[in-house]
A = this chain, B = another copy of it.
């Protein structure tokens, strides 16, 4: 397995594989890899001949009061895990390599970026789209793999790819969860044991919403009230950033839950801002 920090070398590595007729997968990550990332790498391994994992904690997607400085970093463990999973190359550039000159260019996806996490994190998705566009140009893979926990991110990146005609297929893989339902996230490391216990209430409230909607399709407001009550009772230290029921494609709030809907939330627990979602749809298609 190669570990490359240089843009031209990463591009040449990719191009050589393509010239050999191989299909190439890109798994963009910010490191601190966990089973959620591993599932993306395994899916990439299954679907493509060569797998490239990028590890880059992208500063432009963090707001000024966010956790850029404390974001977990576990490079040795990440490299070992990638090696074991048969990754062909890790692309791990430093910030100077990615943003050597001031980056004046910004890629943003209107409308889809203004709701959900975009409300609390106004610069976040422009940062994500810009760095992902850079990665797609550096590593011209056939497929890129993203996790469904970051549902809004997946919808936005898929839209950016289609709108800008990037010749890359966006593959979204299911959320990986702990035994008690908590979605895996590098930010779970911020939780105290007490907060960790409460954190299972996030997914429990989503499951409850899922059951309510499937059973009787109540208006969205009623579902959200029930979820709020559930969280207040089971995660008393949690502060809700948002709790929304949305159209899974447009990400617009809906009141009628007879159509397929996305139930999504963001909750702050101590230093961790946790997000999760559930798609309520007979076919269970992810974005």
Chain A interface residues toward B at CB < 8 A: 7, 11, 101, 103-112, 129-130, 133-134, 137-138, 140, 159-160, 162-167
Contact = CB atoms under 8 A, between A and B. Distances in A.
A138 B167 CA distance: 8
Given A11-B167, A165-B138, A111 B104 contact: yes
B165 A137 contact: yes
Given A164-B137, A165-B134, A129 B105 contact: yes
A155 to B, nearest CB: 10
Contact of A106 (B11, B108, B137, B165): B108
A160 B105 CA distance: 6
Given A134-B165, A137-B166, A159 B7 contact: no
User: Oligomeric state, in number of copies?
Assistant: 2
Contact of A107 (B107, B138, B167): B107
Contacts of A111: 104
A155 B258 CA distance: 51
A107 B164 contact: yes
A130 B162 CA distance: 12
Contact of A167 (B104, B110, B129, B137): B137
Given A106-B107, A107-B106, A101 B138 contact: no
A7 B101 CA distance: 33
29 contacts: A7-B165, A101-B162, A101-B163, A103-B163, A104-B111, A104-B159, A104-B163, A105-B107, A105-B110, A105-B159, A105-B160, A105-B163, A105-B164, A106-B107, A106-B108, A107-B107, A107-B133, A107-B164, A108-B108, A130-B163, A130-B164, A133-B133, A134-B163, A134-B164, A134-B165, A137-B165, A138-B165, A140-B140, A140-B167
Nearest to A108: B106
A103 B110 CA distance: 9
Nearest to A112: B104
A165 B166 CA distance: 13
A197 B249 CA distance: 55
A137 to B, nearest CB: 4
Contacts of A106: 107-110
A145 B167 CA distance: 22
Given A105-B129, A130-B163, 14 more contacts: A11-B167, A103-B163, A104-B110, A104-B111, A104-B112, A105-B107, A105-B108, A105-B109, A105-B110, A105-B160, A105-B163, A106-B109, A107-B107, A108-B108
